[in-house]
Chains A and B, each alone.
Chain A
Amino acid sequence: MAVVKLIGAWPSAYCYRVIWALKLKGIPYEYIEEDLSNKSHLLLQYNPIHKKVPVLLHDGKPICESTVILRYIDEIWPQNPLLPADPYERAVALFWIKFADDKVFLLSKLYQTDGEEQQAAVKEWLEMLEVMEEHALIGGKKFFGGDEINMVDMAFSFVAHWLGILEDVVGLEIFEPHKFPRVSSWIQNFKSIPIIKENLPDVDKMYAFSKHGREMMLASKSN
C-alpha cells in the first residue's frame, strides 16, 4: 500500500489544510514535525526550491505548495471532493483559493510590524474582509463549498483561527463580527466541523509563539 507522509510545522496555517484534506478523505499518513528555525536534511532534500512546509510524500515522491498538494490529493483520492466537478464552478473556487493564498502573508505582516507599517496591514486586512463579505460569501451558503466544506473553506481558515490569536498578540481588534456578519457566520460554522475543531493549533501555544516572535522583532528593531 502506498505510504503517505506529511512534513509540517505546528504553527503553519498551510499545513493544516493538508491534514484536514487527508482526514476528510480517510487517508492514513505519518506526520513529521519540522523545526523551521533549524531545517532538516529531509525538508531541504524534498523541497530544495522553497525549503518550506508543507511537503507531502506519496510513495517517496514529494509534492510541494499546499494548493498543489490538495489538488493532487483530490485527484488520487476522489472521495469527499475538495473542488466542484463543474469546470466553471471549479474556476470560481480556484479564484477564491488564490485570493486567500495571496493574503495569508497578512498574518505575518500584522504581528511582525508596528507603527505605520502595522496600520497599513490593518487596512489591508479590512479590505480583504470586505471582499470576503461582499463578494466571496454571497448566496447564503453555509460554507464556500455549499453544505460541506471544500478547499476554499480550508484556504480561508487563517481568518477563522489565526487572525483572532494575532489580534490578541498585537492588542488590536480588526475583525468586528457585526461589521462582517457573513464572515462571522462562516467562521462559526467552519470551526464547529469536528475534523477542523480537533485539528487546530492550541490557542495558548500559538499565542505564546507569536508573542515571542513579535517581542524578538521589536527588540531587534530597537537595537
Chain B
Amino acid sequence: MAEEVVLLDFWPSPFGMRSRIALAEKGIKYEYKEEDLRNKSALLLQMNPVHKKIPVLIHNGKPVCESLIQVQYIDEVWHDKAPLLPSDPYQKATARFWADYVDKKIYDLGSRVWKTKGEEQATAKKEFIESLKLIEKEIGDKPYFGGESLGYVDVAFIPFYSWFYAYEKCGNFSIEAECPKLIAWAKRCMQKESVAKSLPDQQKVYDFILQMKKHFGIE
C-alpha cells in the first residue's frame, strides 16, 4: 500500500524542523504543507483540534501531534533505517529525559531572550546560557548526543541552532564563546544532509524575529 505522509508545518518552527529531520533521516517521501498561522487551514484545525498547532504529521490520513511524539512515531514505524532512539531501555530513558529538558527549557528561555530587554533579558540570558552548558556536558566526547550517529536528542535540539544567531543579536552575546563544544556539535550536525535541508538560514530566522518584535511592539 502506498504510504501517504503529509507534514503541516511553519518554516521557522524548531518543532517542525524536528519532524523534517526525522523524515529525511529515514528517507521518507512526504508532502510539506506550509501553514499561515494567522490564517490556519481547515485541515490543521481538523487534524489538531485540541491545540490547533503545527507541526502535525498525517500518516495515511491519521494525525500525530506534538513534535517529539512524531519523531518517536517515525522512528517506530520506519524502524529499519537510521534508528534514532537507542535500544537499551536505560539509554532510551536518558535520551527521553534530555529531549524533555530541551522542551522544558530551551524554547522558553530562548524566547525570553528575544522578547525582553533590560534586567529581564539579562536574567533570561544567564539562565539560557546555564541551560546550554548543562546540555553541552551531556555530549561528552561523543560526536553526537546519540553517540556515533544522529539520535533522538540531536534531532530534538539541533533545530534551535537555526535560532542561535537571532538570540545572539537580540541578546548581544556569543553562544560560541560560552559553549564552544555545543557549537562544534551543531556544525557537525549541519554537515548531515537531513539536517542542512531541514533548517532555515539563520539570517532569515533573525529577520523573522525582528518582524515578530515589531508585531508585538518590542523594542
List residues of chain A with CB under 8 Å of any chain B CB: 49, 58, 61, 63-65, 67-69, 71-72, 75-76, 87-88, 90-92, 94-95, 98-99, 131, 135
State which of B59, B66, B101 has its C-beta within 8 Å of the C-beta of A95: B66
Per the CB 8 Å criterion, the residue count for chain B at the interface is 22
| Chain B residues within an 8 Å CB radius of A64 | 97
27 A–B contacts, CB within 8 A, in A order: A49-B101, A58-B90, A63-B90, A63-B93, A67-B100, A68-B93, A68-B100, A69-B93, A72-B89, A72-B90, A72-B93, A75-B92, A76-B89, A87-B73, A87-B77, A88-B62, A88-B73, A90-B73, A91-B69, A91-B73, A92-B64, A94-B69, A95-B64, A95-B65, A95-B66, A98-B66, A131-B50
Contact at A72–B92, with CB atoms within 8 Å? yes
Q: 11 additional contacts, CB 8 Å, given A72-B93, A87-B76, A94-B66?
A: A65-B97, A68-B96, A69-B93, A71-B96, A76-B89, A87-B73, A87-B77, A90-B76, A92-B64, A94-B69, A94-B72
Decide yes or no whether B184 CB sits under 8 A from chain A. Answer: no
CB distance from A71 to the nearest CB of B (A): 7
Complex: how many Å from CA A10 to CA B77? Answer: 39
Decide yes or no whether B118 CB sits under 8 A from chain A. Answer: no
Decide yes or no whether B37 CB sits under 8 A from chain A. Answer: no
| Chain A residues within an 8 Å CB radius of B196 | none
CB distance from B136 to the nearest CB of A (A): 13
